[in-house]
Structure 1
Amino acid sequence: MANRVPSRLFSLPPRFLCPSVSPMQMRHIMTIQPRQKTNHSRWNTGAGLPVLGSSKAAAFARKEPMLPLRTGALAIKKGMTAIYDPATAKRTACTVLQLDRCQVTGHKRKEVNGYWAVQVGSGTKEARNVTRAERGNYAAQGVPIKRHLAEFRVKDAEGLPELGSVITADLFKEGQFVDTRAVTRGMGFTGGMKRWGWSGQPASHGNSLAHRVMGSSGGGQGSGSRVHPGKHMAGRMGGENHTVQNLKIMKVDVENGIVVVHGAVPGPKKCIVRIQDAIKKPWPEVEVGLGISTMGSTADKLETVPA
C-alpha cells in the first residue's frame, strides 16, 4: 500500500482571517479601482502589424493590379454594320459608337473618397432643366452642363486628366481590346421559356394547356417546403447593367468621333455605352494622355475676373 502524503496543516488561512465579501461589494471595488491602460487594439490594427484581409485597404490592394491605367469614354450606340475584308473574304459584324462632347467633369481621390476615379460627362443639357445644386456643381468645376455622367476607375493619380479635358475618339487605337458596359434592352414581363431558355414540357401524352408553364417550383419536406431563392421563374426581363468584355477595335474616325468595335454591344440604339481598356488583356502601349486634349477648367478663370 502506497504511503499517504500528509496534508499541510496550514495550507489555507483560517476562516476568521478571510472575511466574506458580497458580490455587490466586489463590484463596487472593481469600479473604483483604476484601470490599467494597454496598447491593445480591438481591431488588431496599428504600426508594424499586417493589414487585415477583410479591411478596405486590403481589398483595394487586391484590386489595384486589375484597374486600368487611364480613363474611358462615353459613347452613343448608333447601330450595327459589317466590315468586309477582301483579302480573307470575311464579313465581320461590328457596332458603331460615337462620342458626343465627352469631357472630364470631376475626380475621385483615394485620400478623400477611398478610390481613384474619373467622372466623365457627355452630351449637353439646358440650364433650365437642371437643378440649382447641379448647376452649382458644374460651375464650381468650371465645365459645361452634361446630360450623362459616369465614373471610370483608374489605378492611381497618374490616370486623372485635368478637369475640363475633352476626350476624343483617338483615345482608342485600332487592334486594341476594350470592355463595353450598358443597360440591356427592356423586354417587360416575360415567361420562363423566353427569360431562361427552357425547352418546355412535352407536347403530348396527357399534357393539356401546360406546354409553356413553369411546372414545380420546389420540393416538399426534403427541401424545406419552400421556394428557394434564385428560382428561375417568369418575371421582368432586361433593363440591367451588362458588360461585354474583350471587344476588338476595328476602326477609329477622329473627325466624326466614331469608334467601331467587333461584335455586339449591350443595349438598344441611342443608348449610352461606357468604353474602357479591357482588364483581361494586356494594357495598350500608348501614352496615358493620348486622346485627351487638355483645355482646362474655367473655375480658376472665373475667380480671377473682377466683379
Structure 2
Amino acid sequence: MSGLIGRKIGMTSIFDENGKNIPCTVIEAGPCVVTQVRTKEVDGYEALQLGFDDKKKANKADEGHAKKAGTTAKRRVVEFQGFEEEYKLGDTITVEHFEEGEFVDVSGTSKGKGFQGVVKRHGFAGVGQATHGQHNRLRAPGSIGAASYPARVFKGMRMAGQMGNEKVKVQNLRVLKVVPEKNLLVVKGLFPVTRTPM
C-alpha cells in the first residue's frame, strides 16, 4: 500500500492486552478514487492521482477531469508513487488495504496559530524577573544582534512571526485498528494536522 488521503476526526484512547492506556488518533481515510494514472510513456514517471471528498463548487476544468474517471470533482487531489497493485482510472481505494500492526507515515497541514511571540513560538523564557527596573520585558526576546559589526541581524534568528499552518510529517505510527465499514483508521500517537494525506 503506497498511500491514501483522509482527514483527522479526533483523538481517543484504547487499552492494549496488558491494560495499558494508549493515546491514538482516528482518521477517516478514503474512499479515494483514482482520478488519473501517470505512466512513463506519457508523463515520464509512474504514479496514481487520488481524489478524496466531493467538491461543493467545482469549476468546469475540475468537473471535466473527474468525468474521465467517472466520478465527481474532488476537494483534495494527491499523487502517490510506488503502488504494488495495478489500478485503473475510476477504481476506488479504501482502508481495507491497511493491516493492523503495520507502520505508516502521516503528513498534513498543521493548525495555524497566527502571529506569535518568541515565548510561545520558540520556547524562550523571557527576562525571568519582574523587578530591578524591568518594564514590560517578561516575554521579550532580548538582544537580537551585535553592534556596529556586523551591523545587521543574521538570517535565521529566532524571532516572533507566523506560527503553524505548515506541512508536518510524522513517521512510523502503528496502525492499531482498521474499521472498513466506516472508513476509519486508528493510529497510535498524535500529529498536529487538519487534513492528512498518508
TM-score, length of structure 2 as denominator length = 0.90
Q: 1:211 to 1:161 in 2, by over 3 A?
A: same
Is 1:137–2:65 an aligned residue pair? yes
Is 1:109–2:32 an aligned residue pair? no
Correspondent of 1:227 among 135, 140, 153: 153
AA of the residue aligned to 1:272 = R
CA drift of 1:208 comes to: 2.3
Task: Provide the residue aligned with 2:133 in structure 1.
Answer: 206
AA of the residue aligned to 1:136 = G
Task: Provide the residue aligned with 1:20 in structure 2.
Answer: none
CA drift of 1:163 comes to: 1.4
Task: Provide the residue aligned with 2:163 in structure 1.
Answer: 237
Alignment of 1:1-307 (within 5 A): 70-85=1-16, 87-126=17-56, 129-154=57-82, 158=84, 161-203=87-129, 204-222=131-149, 224-267=150-193, 271-275=194-198
2:120 counterpart SS class? helix
CA drift of 1:168 comes to: 1.2
AA of the residue aligned to 2:161 = G
- Unmatched runs of 5 consecutive residues or more in structure 2: none
Give the count of matched residue pairs: 197
Task: Return the structure number with greater strand share.
Answer: 2
2:74 counterpart SS class? coil
1:193 counterpart SS class? helix
CA drift of 1:201 comes to: 1.3
AA of the residue aligned to 2:26 = V
Q: Alignment RMSD, CA only?
A: 1.9
Identity in percent: 38
Counterparts of 1:232 and 1:115, CA distance in 2: 40
Counterparts of 1:106 and 1:116, CA distance in 2: 11
Counterparts of 1:189 and 1:238, CA distance in 2: 9
Counterparts of 1:104 and 1:77, CA distance in 2: 21
Counterparts of 1:205 and 1:115, CA distance in 2: 65
Q: Greater CA deviation, 134-143 or 244-253?
A: 134-143
Counterparts of 1:169 and 1:217, CA distance in 2: 50
Task: Provide the residue aligned with 1:301 in structure 2.
Answer: none
For the pair shown, the structure with the greater C-alpha radius of gyration is 1
- Unmatched runs of 5 consecutive residues or more in structure 1: 1-69, 276-307
Counterparts of 2:192 and 2:97, CA distance in 1: 21
- Contact kept? 2:174, 2:187, Cα under 8 Å: yes
1:217 counterpart SS class? coil
1:242 counterpart SS class? strand
CA drift of 1:114 comes to: 3.9
Counterparts of 1:169 and 1:216, CA distance in 2: 52
Q: 1:218 to 1:122 in 2, by over 3 A?
A: same
Q: 1:111 to 1:207 in 2, by over 3 A?
A: farther
CA drift of 1:141 comes to: 3.5
CA drift of 1:188 comes to: 0.7
Task: Return the structure number with greater helix share.
Answer: 1
User: Which deviations, in whole Å up to 9, do the C-alpha atoms of 1:196-243 show, x marking residues without a partner?
Assistant: 111111313332221111122212344x21111111110111000100
Counterparts of 1:166 and 1:259, CA distance in 2: 17
